[in-house]
Amino acid sequence: MEFPSQADYELLIYTLPQNHPDVISSSLHLYTTSRGTAVTRGSVHFRNGLELRVSEVVDFTAGRISDYGYTVFRGAERIRWYDPQPHPEDASLAETFPHHLHEPPDIKDNRKSAPGISFTAPNLPTLIADCIALGESPAAGPSRTLRERDARYVVDTQSQAIAVLLTLEEYEHYLDLLDDEADSQDSDLAARLTQAAAQPTGGE
């Protein structure tokens, strides 16, 4: 299947909440870095409480994703991430090489193959489906069931306040802070994304 044009990719990104009922909000933006090349950054929030943070470099001239980093959070806990760093020594990852995911236990070293993740097609549909499935796992549990107590608070099943509802302006500022913090903590990913974005495209 042909990789989408930049216009079609933007349509995919900017209509996630409208096209996916399980997505409650998205701060994903596509930033053009050079002719035919762009960076996608932001977060997708799901009704099940999960957050998907996205960083990827897209080369529309070559029709591929040059590099990416996708991380799934449940609250402040990082419960999964996806990356394309090759591990040829691990035969269990051969099916989707070099694409794989990390998840608990021992999340750093516990690698699994990542069906549906590639450089040659948009990964968001697979990531959204994975996040919905993760939210239905036992780890999500009834203790994480949320309901509104009033206009500003969210409580758990014991009526304990666990979150504060934000205005859109407050929420966007919060996401900007999270993105800045994540970028500063993941220097390896930031370096790879910067290097990939700086490479000349095939059309230049």
Digit-coded pLDDT (tens) for 153-186:
565 544 455 667 777 777 777 677 666 655 555 6
- Rounded Cα distance between 27 and 202, Å, is 29
pTM: 0.69
Asked if pLDDT for residue 194 goes beyond 60, the answer is yes
- Rounded Cα distance between 13 and 44, Å, is 10
Region 47-67 average pLDDT: 97
How many other CB atoms are there within 10 angstroms of residue 107's CB atom? 15
Burial pattern 141-180, b for ≥16 Cβ within 10 A else e, equals eeeeeeeeeeeeeebeeeeeeeeeeeeeeeeeeebeebbe
Give Cα 142 to chain centroid, integer Å.
25
Digit-coded pLDDT (tens) for 129-139:
999 999 876 55
Digit-coded pLDDT (tens) for 119-131:
999 999 999 999 9
Contact at 8 Å (CB) between 15 and 133? no
Contact at 8 Å (CB) between 125 and 115? no
